[in-house]
Each structure stands twice: as structure tokens, then as C-alpha cells.
Amino acid sequence: MIMAYLVMVAMLTLSILFLYGSVLKRLRSLKKLDLQAFGKVRRREIAEELEAGRLTSNESVQLLLDVDHESEQQASNRKHILHIGTPLARWVMLGVVAVLVLGSVSLYQRMGYAKEVIFTQDLQTQDLTPQKISDFLQYRSRRYGSVEDWYYEATDDVSAGRYNEAVVAFEKALEAMPREADGRVNLLVEYAQAIFYANGNQSSKKMQKTVDVILEQAPTEAIALGLKGVAEFDQKNYLGAVLAWQEAIRYNSNSAERIALLSAITKARDVGAIDYRQVAPIITHQLAMKVEWDKRNLHWLKDDILLVYALAKGQKMPVAIQRVFPEDLEQPILLTNLDAVMPTVTLAQIDKVDIVVKLSNINDNDLTKGRIIGIKRGLLTNTKEIFVINVAL
């Protein structure tokens, strides 16, 4: 690309010099014509002066020789100078300008600025398609090679189910990211997940190695602990799987993922014949509930967040609480003895609780100042029933 720039600059410089030279030569040609006319006038004057007797014959001959010599000198100079007409220079200049314009457009296209302009226009007109987004992300990552560009391509591949491509893109992002950079652990976690998905939701040595690196830097990383449990289960180390998954539950407050982990722990206990005396359960008491609402009258806003918590009779401080976003309400919400606000009082010490649902704004400094939109009283703890709570504004 730099060579193309240099070629175009050279062409532009030479064409300007060419045009300047042709114009200058044209001016010189006009000057020559003036000198020839001047010679004719001068001979006529010499003849008139001779007839009037103001010049002698010798003087007139000498003056005529001087005029002839000057004319011959001008003719000789004209033979040695390449005369190029102005019309030809104009055509040459027009050709150079055309080449420069086409070359500039080609460079503009090749460098990608046109793609960015087109993408911005499609974004403004809401004409973007998943394929257009994927193509643009791939262009950006290969052009700039930054961590962010490779990461966006990787996450786009994951969302589209292109897990093998996502693994490659995550590896490129990790190569571009400094070893001590903030967020490297989070990037490694997503990379490990992509490896897991690319291998058909099965463990692999590559995934295990990545998980080990993550847990060395962040021993409480819930997703990595979950993947470690998968690796232990695939290796028939069912005790290791139970221990890893229980730690994953401890540090993961997502209800849906907790429920999945509890199911996996039950399976590992059954296959490995691991009873509760051998490994005590980390979750001893739990309450599962489902939030329902009238979709015709209640529409969630993008900044909405719900606090779902359990209150003991006569107490103001919750014994278990979770924050839930509206998009997660399709799954049951699980409150456990791990979700205590104060470690001294948990669901394990309470027989009955009231469940409260409070609507708040994620931007509020104090989420507890929100509005109560649902409540269910007198629920027994540690039951397998999924309670339904209807909410309304």
C-alpha cells in the first residue's frame, strides 16, 4: 500500500512538472514568433534608413547581418528543444488524474474505510444482518488485530455456534493481550467454554489445561470449577466431580446454573456411590420459586432488576436474597442457605419464611428502596415444591 501511495505521488509530481514545462515551452514559442515579426520590422526600418541616407551601405549591411544572426540563433535553439504542445500536456494530465482517482478509490476500498462507512450506514438505517455483522467483525480483527476485535469475533462465533472458529479467535485475543492485563482470567474462562463446546460438550486435555491455569489465578471462579467437575466426571473421578461442583455452587449465585449443578452432583453421587456422610452437601436448605406476571399489563424496562428474598417472621433483615434480571425470570429462582446476608442466620435455622419480590432500578444506589410487587407468606423451607409468586405493579 505504501508503494502504491509513492507511485501515485510520483505520477502526480511528474505530471505537474510536465504541464509546467509544456506551458513554459509554449510561452517560449510565442516569444519566438514575436522575435520573427520584430526581424521583419527591423529589416524594413534599415531599408528606410538607407534610402533616407541616414545609414551608409556598410552600416546597413552590418545591421542586416546582426538581424540574420539573431534569427539563425533562434532557429538553432528551436531545433535542439523538444517542443510539446499544450493540448498533448492536457491529455497526459487528464490521464494521470484518472489513474490517481481510480488508484485512490482502490486504496480506499483495500484499506477498509469504505467497509466501515458502509457498516455505519447500515447501523444507522437498521439494515444490519447477522452475516454483515460477522463479516465486519472478521474484517476488523484481521485489519487491526486488537484484543477487543478478536474478542468480538470470538463471541459472535460462539453465539452463531461456530465453536471451532471461536476457539481460534479467542487464542488470537489471548496472544494480543498482555499476561498481566485485567480481564485475562475472564477471557480464559470464555476460551475454556468454547473449547468445551467445540469438543461436543466433552472434556479435553486442552480444556483441562486452560481450567488449571484459571484456577491458579482465581481459585473461586465458578465456571472454571464447573468445567473442572466435568473433567473429573469424564475421568470417572466422581468424588472429585462432586467436590468441584459443590465449590462451583458456592461461588455461583445464578439459579439456573445452580439447579443444573445440583442435578450433576446427584448423578455423580449415584454413579460413584458417594453418600452424604462421605461428602456433606453444601446446600442443606433451599426454596425454589417461579415469578409470573400478566404480560399484557406489565412490561419490563431495560434498567429493571428484582430483589427476591426470604424474611423470617418478625425480622427485617433477609435470611436469603438474590438479584434477578427480568430476562432470567423464565427459569426458577433458587434461594439456599448459601444466600444469607448474615452468616449467623440462614435458611437452615428457619422453618417458615415469607418470600418478597421487590422491583428496583439497576442504577439506584440502594436497591432496597424499590417497590414490593409480589409476596408469598408462610412457606416451609427445604421443600422440593416450586412455589409460584404472581407479581403486579
- pLDDT at residue 135, rounded to an integer: 83
Pick the range with the lowest mean pLDDT from 77-86, 209-218, 242-251.
Answer: 77-86
Q: In the predicted model, is pLDDT for residue 102 greater than 90?
A: no
- pLDDT at residue 308, rounded to an integer: 96
DSSP-assigned letters across all residues of 276-292:
TTTS--S---EEEEEEE
Q: In the predicted model, is pLDDT for residue 156 greater than 60?
A: yes
Q: In the predicted model, is pLDDT for residue 329 greater than 70?
A: yes
Q: Say if CB 358 and CB 388 are below 8 A apart.
A: no
What is the rounded CA–CA span in Å between residue 249 and residue 254? 9
What is the rounded CA–CA span in Å between residue 356 and residue 391? 10
Pick the range with the lowest mean pLDDT from 105-109, 278-282, 380-384.
Answer: 105-109
**309: confidence class by pLDDT, cuts 50, 70, 90:** very high
Cell numbers that stand for 371 in this block: 417497590
pLDDT, one tens digit per residue, over 20-61 is 566 556 555 545 545 556 667 667 777 777 777 777 777 777
Q: Say if CB 177 and CB 147 are below 8 A apart.
A: yes
**77: confidence class by pLDDT, cuts 50, 70, 90:** low
Strand partners, 355: 310, 376
Q: Which residue has the cell 509544456?
A: 22
Q: What whole-number percentage of the chain has pLDDT above 70?
A: 76
* Chain mean pLDDT for the chain: 83
> Which residue, 268, 173, 183, is CA-closest to 218?
183
pLDDT, one tens digit per residue, over 115-143 is 776 777 777 787 778 888 888 888 888 88
